[in-house]
Amino acid sequence: MSYSNFVLVCNGTGCRASHSQQLADCLDKALVQNGLNESVQVVRTGCFGFCEKGPVVKMIPDNTFYVEVQPSDAEDIVKEHLIKGCKVERLLYVNPETKEQVSDSKHIDFYKKQHRVALRNCGFINPENIDEYIARDGYIALGKALTEMTPEEVIKELLDSGLRGRGGAGFPTGLKWQFTRKVKAAQKYVVCNADEGDPGAFMDRSVLEGDPHSVVEAMAINGYCTDASKGLVYIRAEYPLAVERLKIAIRQAKEYGLLGDNILGTDFSFDIEIRYGAGAFVCGEETALIHSMEGLRGEATMKPPFPSEAGYKGFPTNVNNVETYANVPVILLKGAKWFAGMGTEKSKGTKVFALAGKVNNVGLIEVPMGTTLREVIFGTGGGIKDGKKFKAVQTGGPSGGCLTEKHLDLPIDYDNLIGAGSMMGSGGMIVMDEDDCMVAVAKFYMDFIVEESCGKCTPCRIGNKRLQEILHKITIGKGEEKDLEDLYNLGNVIKDTALCGLGQTSPNPVLSTMEHFRDEYLAHVRDKRCPSHQCRSLSRYYVNPEKCKGCTACTRACPVQAISGEKKLPHVIDPETCIRCGSCIEKCKFDAIYVL
Amino acid sequence: MNTDSKIKSLDDLRKLRDSLRSSMVLREKSENPELIVQIRVSMDTCGIAAGAKEIMAHFIESLEQKKVEALVTQTGCLGFCDADPVAEIIVPGKEPLIFGHLTNQKADEIIDNYIVKGHLTDNIRPITREAVKPE
């Protein structure tokens, strides 16, 4: 039996949080009620990326794209769209600039510049059904590798493609596989690093939720190339949906004999197990990750020896990130040349970014390497929320740095970002607007690092703590100019001396904000003023006597009775008592209270 | 799980893929609707009364038999209730044409002559959009 229509409903974590599961159930019910369940199929897919407007629904074949769909809309979609053939106009996306309704996702700015490779199946297939993956050439790359190619040929294809590690450091994937292959050992391991920990990043989670089989397939290919018979996925337990779908994928692959003994009639055998992480940031570092899997504390150790020589339980281990794996099958299918045709000279292919912060279209995007930050933030991202001014974008999470207006036209690739004092990282992109205080942002990342440092090496354990203390001092108005010098020197010492990648990159947010926003730091330490009024201790609340009507609304709202004044006469705020909570501003109807 | 479900070779895998393709073809085609032939059947009340549902089913069946790639969808009232059942046919690069008074036989002629060969015959003259432009 074949269906003539499909209703694709996003069932990624974001959309599920706004009831997309119930929506899919309601659609199923409405189809049965209207006798359409034999010709129309509801497909629960992975993330469409347009999380800002979720839950998202796509109608096939006419490609109508509905946004912010609620379970109560199911009835209308079935009756109006499927039966009468009319679009449900209130659910269409409205272009915020032209105010025009757009019915087709291809004409939505968010999708125009995107090119989906790693996310090719996300939002397109049902991740819990291996047949849909196979229908999209799934496992053909594995079959091709096993029966028609030698491991060396597969590795050469990857080298030629120019694929570099998507976890952050950008090490050539083919080279890594080659290293592991060359080491002779009785047992080897293939590990998938799904310990995504950057604040605001959800690329790997979305790949695992939307297309888990691509990772399973690539790990098996990796096993074939490195003579490993065992694969391990290290995933954080706080990703329950990704874990669930990965488990289903592994089970289905085993049932089809695509994992297990003698895969596809060859003498290659491979199996995958899941290992849970408790959600420690440092466990994204490969040596710490391996120790965590061994049941030891998640602490980094010196490299060399690299995991490719002595990794899990002392055996050679190849560790790759989720998104890196997701690229592998499609490279083998379409060829290295095709992949190398996208991107810049040294960074090939595409990159997935999780766009978050003060940007209109929060979501998951994939663009070719070499796309500029401006195109990502103002094109795909739809610009800054509420028409505010762009201030900075943090790439690479707590290990990366802040990039500013002058970097907007920089083509994104590994080397350009490092050159600009940031890094690619795993792909988190947090956009900040004029209201964000860069000192506070640096302090936020430092708080995160101090909490996540494993404590093994002194520079990271103590150095970062000191950085955090100095930043705290500055944000409460007790900073001196010498503190800036200390921040700079200490930051660079930590960079040079810390043991692992976490420590070596941890001062980056502080150093890059100091470089690009020195005047903001100076305003904090010299004038004891926070230019964006985010540091509470540094802001002062005032009443504009010309605007104040003496309505007493603020007096009643103030929790500490800091506002006084006669009725119908201008009020005054006592700065000593004021706790700068902002309640008065919210209550004032005359816009009479301001902050300096 | 019985062992029968195991895929034993790359050829078997390819066969399985080919048998599963059809559900994906429709989804993949929908990604680029402007590149493929689209047939939109007017499925309003009077259209249905005049047999639009049967025509649509016939289009789908016939296209599959003749192995012609096209997207068949339904749409609301096109305004040509007089000529029901009505369908709008969009061939990439050409002006959309509207065909009326459809029968199964006419549908076949449209597929064979207009969609495949690209020419119109006396029997399947379209009611073009120009014809209904208000003066």
Interface test with A, best of B21, B24, B25, B53 (most A CBs within 10 A): B24
C-alpha A340/C-alpha A319 separation (Å) is 23
Spacing of C-alpha B48 from chain mean position:
17
Q: Where are the domains of chain A?
A: 5-108, 130-339, 350-433, 438-525, 540-595
> Does B8 fall in a domain?
no
Q: Tell whether A424 lies on the interface with B, counting CB pairs under 8 A.
A: no
Residue B80 burial class via C-beta count within 10 angstroms: exposed 0-12, middle 13-18, buried 19 and up: buried
- A14 closest CA partner among A44, A42, A55, A45: A55
What pLDDT is stored for residue A31 in this prediction?
A: 94
Q: Identify the DSSP state of A385.
A: G
Radius of gyration of chain A (CA): 27
Please, are residues A239 and A47 in contact by the beta-carbon 8 Å criterion? Answer: no
> Does B1 fall in a domain?
no
User: CA dihedral defined by A83, A84, A90, A91, rounded to 10 degrees?
Assistant: 40
**B30 chain-A contacts, CB cut-off 8 A:** 60-63
A350-433 carries CATH number 3.10.20.600? yes
Angle, CA B84 vertex, CA B83 and CA B90 arms, to 5°: 90
Given the structure tokens 């690209």, which residue do they identify?
B118
Please, are residues A181 and A226 in contact by the beta-carbon 8 Å criterion? Answer: yes
Domain, as residue range, for B51? 32-132
C-alpha B106/C-alpha A214 separation (Å) is 46
C-alpha A426/C-alpha A428 separation (Å) is 6
What pLDDT is stored for residue B124 in this prediction?
A: 67
Is pLDDT above 70 for B1? Answer: no
C-alpha A66/C-alpha A48 separation (Å) is 12
Among chain A residues, the shortest Cα distance to B24 is held by A135
From A159-168, A205-214, B56-65, B114-123, the region with the lowest mean pLDDT: B114-123
What pLDDT is stored for residue B131 in this prediction?
A: 45
Q: Which amino acid, one-letter code, is at A499?
A: L
- Written as six digits, the tokens of A41 are 């199929």
**B76 chain-A contacts, CB cut-off 8 A:** 84-86
Is pLDDT above 90 for B112? Answer: no
C-alpha A445/C-alpha A184 separation (Å) is 42
What pLDDT is stored for residue B128 in this prediction?
A: 59
C-alpha A92/C-alpha A111 separation (Å) is 15
Minimum-distance CB partner of B29 among A61, A134, A257: A61
- A547 closest CA partner among A516, A570, A566: A570
CB contact under 8 A, A85 and B17: no
Is pLDDT above 50 for B134? Answer: no
Minimum-distance CB partner of A2 among B23, B33, B43: B23
Number of domains in chain B: 1
- A7 closest CA partner among A73, A82, A75: A82
What pLDDT is stored for residue A100 in this prediction?
A: 87
A540-595 carries CATH number 3.40.50.300? no
SS3 for A242?
Answer: helix
Integer distance in angstroms from the first to the last C-alpha of chain B?
70
- Written as six digits, the tokens of A571 are 């009020």
> Does B52 fall in a domain?
yes
C-alpha A508/C-alpha A285 separation (Å) is 17
Q: Identify the DSSP state of A305.
A: S
Minimum-distance CB partner of B71 among A61, A138, A144: A61
Q: Tell whether A6 lies on the interface with B, counting CB pairs under 8 A.
A: yes
Cβ pairs bridging A and B (under 8 Å): 98
C-alpha pair distances (Å), A96 with each of A100, A111, A220, A435, B66: 8, 15, 45, 22, 44
> Does B27 fall in a domain?
no
What pLDDT is stored for residue B111 in this prediction?
A: 85
Residue A10 sits at φ, ψ, to 5 deg, of -65, 125
Say which CATH number the domain at B108 has: 3.40.30.10
Please, are residues A526 and A561 in contact by the beta-carbon 8 Å criterion? Answer: no
Residue A189 sits at φ, ψ, to 5 deg, of -130, 150
Number of neighbouring beta carbons within 10 Å of residue B79: 12
Please, are residues A215 and A233 in contact by the beta-carbon 8 Å criterion? Answer: yes
> Does B90 fall in a domain?
yes
Minimum-distance CB partner of B26 among A6, A139, A140: A6
Please, are residues A475 and A537 in contact by the beta-carbon 8 Å criterion? Answer: yes
Gap from A64 CA to chain B (nearest CA, Å)? 9
Please, are residues A399 and A425 in contact by the beta-carbon 8 Å criterion? Answer: yes
Mean pLDDT, rounded, of chain A:
93
pLDDT tens profile A113-171: 899 999 999 999 999 999 999 999 999 999 999 999 999 999 999 999 999 999 888 99
What pLDDT is stored for residue B2 in this prediction?
A: 44
What pLDDT is stored for residue B127 in this prediction?
A: 67
Gap from B106 CA to chain A (nearest CA, Å)? 22
Instruction: Give me the residues of chain A with pLDDT under 70, please.
Output: 1-2
Query: How many residues belong to chain A?
Result: 596
What pLDDT is stored for residue B135 in this prediction?
A: 39
CB contact under 8 A, B17 and A60: no
Gap from B1 CA to chain A (nearest CA, Å)? 7
C-alpha B31/C-alpha B10 separation (Å) is 28
Given the structure tokens 């190398």, which residue do they identify?
A340
Q: Which residues of B touch A (CB under 8 A)?
A: 1, 5-10, 12-14, 16-17, 20-24, 26-27, 29-33, 42-44, 60, 71-76
Superfamily designation of domain A5-108: Glutaredoxin (3.40.30.10)
What pLDDT is stored for residue A339 in this prediction?
A: 96
Q: Tell whether A304 lies on the interface with B, counting CB pairs under 8 A.
A: no
**A257 chain-B contacts, CB cut-off 8 A:** 5-8
Query: How many residues belong to chain B?
Result: 135
**A139 chain-B contacts, CB cut-off 8 A:** 13
Q: Identify the DSSP state of A410.
A: P
C-alpha A164/C-alpha A152 separation (Å) is 18
Angle, CA B5 vertex, CA B2 and CA B9 arms, to 5°: 130
C-alpha A119/C-alpha A78 separation (Å) is 28
How high is the ipTM of this complex? 0.85
DSSP string, A433-468: ETT--HHHHHHHHHHHHHHH--S-SHIIIIIHHHHH
Q: Tell whether A80 lies on the interface with B, counting CB pairs under 8 A.
A: no
pLDDT tens profile A286-343: 999 999 999 999 999 998 999 999 999 999 999 999 999 999 999 999 999 999 999 9
Among chain B residues, the shortest Cα distance to A251 is held by B1
Gap from B124 CA to chain A (nearest CA, Å)? 25
CB contact under 8 A, B6 and A134: no
Beta bridge partners of A356: A430
Measured on CA atoms in the order B119, B122, B124, B127, is the torsion positive or negative? positive
CB contact under 8 A, B71 and A255: no
> Does B99 fall in a domain?
yes
pTM of the model: 0.87
C-alpha A532/C-alpha A515 separation (Å) is 18
**B1 chain-A contacts, CB cut-off 8 A:** 255
A130-339 carries CATH number 3.30.1130.10? no
Please, are residues A46 and A209 in contact by the beta-carbon 8 Å criterion? Answer: yes
A438-525 carries CATH number 1.20.1440.230? yes
C-alpha B114/C-alpha A504 separation (Å) is 67
- B106 closest CA partner among B119, B120, B123: B123
> Does B60 fall in a domain?
yes
C-alpha A85/C-alpha A530 separation (Å) is 56
Number of neighbouring beta carbons within 10 Å of residue A518: 12
> Does B86 fall in a domain?
yes
Ranges of beta strands (E only) in A248-311 are 271-277
Please, are residues B27 and A60 in contact by the beta-carbon 8 Å criterion? Answer: yes
What pLDDT is stored for residue A2 in this prediction?
A: 66
Measured on CA atoms in the order A20, A22, A28, A32, is the torsion positive or negative? negative
B125 pLDDT tier (thresholds 50, 70, 90): low
CB contact under 8 A, A85 and B22: no
CB contact under 8 A, B33 and A104: yes
CB contact under 8 A, A134 and B27: no
Q: Which are the contacts of A328, defined by CB distance < 8 A and separation ≥ 6?
A: A141, A158, A163, A173, A217, A218, A221, A222
Is pLDDT above 80 for B122? Answer: no
